[in-house]
Amino acid sequence: MRKNKFLFFNADDLGYSFKTNERILAAFLKGPVGGSSLIVNMGKSTASGAMIAIEEGIPVGLHFNVNEGAPLSGAPSLVGKNGKFFPPPTFLYRMRQGFIDPQDLKEECRAQIEEFISLGFSPFRFDSHNHSHVFPGVFPIIAPILKEYGFKVVRTPRERKGNFFRALPRVGRALEILFLSLWGDSLKRNLPKFGFKTIPHFSGMLEQEPYFSKERILRMLKRLNFGLTEIMVHPGHKGEMEVLIDEEINRAIHSENFRVLKQEILEFL
């Protein structure tokens, strides 16, 4: 396996909206997308996304979400006066200041896992909206819940440090990716202590900066590591689905001796 490049394109945000669901399905049927991550607190669009995944055989993980929409539990410390989750910077600040009640985080994690199961899925892969599970202090709180329900694989988002200049001129976004990668590296080193594993390599954050394009994906393919890489994509975002189903992208994947994993991803994890 070390001498080959195995690619697992994972489409985040299944269940976010009906349009996102449709675009993820197109990227799965016509492009390299091999799996998705389901947001479970978006009501009817969540149910629609789950039905599509089951009908089409899309491998699905849980996309834990504490940054958009409303909680499935009470979780008073996770929401503002409007009853909605705080955006990522505010959530991070509140975590660092001790304003987030760990019990609220545990209860919301449990509620989202229960919803995930009720929609017809078995706990196995775990990641989160805006990568909030790698924010300092979050994972140690929810890890026992994930273990209890049988999750095995946890995403550790990280990019090679030498490539951060490609996120410029958006300095703020470049710094965000840098910190996420540092936290992702730290989580990767510590995952065995929690009893989880991760996909060895990760890519996808930098390809979205400052815009997603065919050229960026082609350059990414050339620099990927040997072994298994999770490539995070968002077909629901403007332009991404069109790039993913582009014939040149699919020709490049098949001409460079890559192996794109879909349902067989479970055999590698």
12 among known catalytic residues:
yes
What's the one-letter identity of residue 212? F
Chain position carrying tokens 């540092």: 182
From 12, 13, 104, 127, active-site residue: 12
Distance set, CA 244 to CA 12, 26, 70, 81, 215 (Å): 14, 9, 31, 39, 11
Sequence-distant (6+) residues with CB within 8 A of 215 are none
User: Is the link from the previous residue into 210 a cis peptide, with omega within 30 of 0?
Assistant: yes
Catalytic positions:
12
